[in-house]
Amino acid sequence: MQIIIYRGTKEIGGTLVELKTGGSRILIDAGYPLFLNNKPIEDEISLYPYDKLLEVGVLPNIKGLYGWDLPGFDAVIISHAHIDHYGLLHYIHPTIPVYLSKGTRKIIDISALFMLSAQPPTGTCEFTMYKPFQIGVFRIMPFLMDHSAFDAAAFEISDNEKTIIYTGDFRGHGRKAVCLDRFIDKAKKGADALLTEGTMFGRQDDEVMTEQELEDRLVKKIKDFKGPVLFQSSSQNIDRLVSFYRTASRLDRVFVVDVYTANVLYELRQLGNNHLPYPSREYPNIKVFYPYRLTQKIFNKIGEEYAKRFSPFYLPKDKLKKEQNNIVMAVRPSMRMDIEITGLKNGLFVYSLWRGYCDSEYQKEFENYLDRSGFTADVLHTSGHATVTDIRRVITVLEPKQVIPIHTMVPDSFIGLSENVALKEDGKAFNI
Site of interaction with Zn ion (CB under 5 A): 82, 84, 149, 169
Shortest distance (Å) from residue 122 CB to Zn ion: 17
CB under 8 Å, gap of 24 or more: what pairs does 304-311 form?
A: 306/113, 306/259, 306/263, 307/259, 309/263, 309/266, 310/259, 310/262, 310/266, 310/279
- Closest to Zn ion by CB, 169 vs 338, is 169
Exposure on the CB side of residue 26, measured as CA atoms within 13 A: 24
- Closest to Zn ion by CB, 4 vs 149, is 149
Can you tell me the distance from the alpha carbon of 197 to that of 15, in angstroms, rounded to the nearest whole number?
A: 10
Name the CA dihedral angle for 265, 270, 276, 280, rounded to a multiple of 10 degrees. Answer: 70
- Closest to Zn ion by CB, 220 vs 355, is 355
- Closest to Zn ion by CB, 247 vs 408, is 408
Distances, alpha carbon 334 to alpha carbons 215, 227, 266, 293, 363, in Å: 26, 22, 22, 9, 9
Distances, alpha carbon 131 to alpha carbons 93, 139, 141, 306, in Å: 26, 10, 6, 33
- Closest to Zn ion by CB, 174 vs 277, is 174
Compute the residue count for the chain.
432
Shortest distance (Å) from residue 11 CB to Zn ion: 10
For residue 357, give the DSSP letter.
G
- Closest to Zn ion by CB, 168 vs 347, is 168
- Closest to Zn ion by CB, 12 vs 259, is 12
Sign for the pseudo-dihedral over CA of 60, 66, 69, 71: positive
Shortest distance (Å) from residue 31 CB to Zn ion: 7
For residue 312, give the DSSP letter.
G
Q: Phi-psi region for residue 134, left (φ > 0), alpha (ψ -120 to 50) or beta?
A: beta
Phi–psi pair at 71, nearest 5 degrees: -65, 130
- Closest to Zn ion by CB, 76 vs 259, is 76
Q: Strand, helix or coil at 193? A: strand
- Closest to Zn ion by CB, 169 vs 211, is 169
Can you tell me the distance from the alpha carbon of 370 to that of 375, in angstroms, rounded to the nearest whole number?
A: 5
- Closest to Zn ion by CB, 127 vs 290, is 127
Q: Strand, helix or coil at 215? A: helix
Shortest distance (Å) from residue 13 CB to Zn ion: 5
Can you tell me the distance from the alpha carbon of 142 to that of 167, in angstroms, rounded to the nearest whole number?
A: 10
SS (H, E, C) 61-112: CCCCCECCCCCCCCEEECCCCCHHHHCCHHHECCCCCEEEEHHHHHHHHHHH
Q: Strand, helix or coil at 372? A: helix
- Closest to Zn ion by CB, 107 vs 298, is 107
Shortest distance (Å) from residue 375 CB to Zn ion: 30
Shortest distance (Å) from residue 361 CB to Zn ion: 25
Shortest distance (Å) from residue 42 CB to Zn ion: 19
Shortest distance (Å) from residue 353 CB to Zn ion: 13
CB 296 within 8 A of CB 260: no
Shortest distance (Å) from residue 296 CB to Zn ion: 31
Can you tell me the distance from the alpha carbon of 69 to that of 72, in angstroms, rounded to the nearest whole number?
A: 8
Shortest distance (Å) from residue 319 CB to Zn ion: 37
Shortest distance (Å) from residue 264 CB to Zn ion: 16
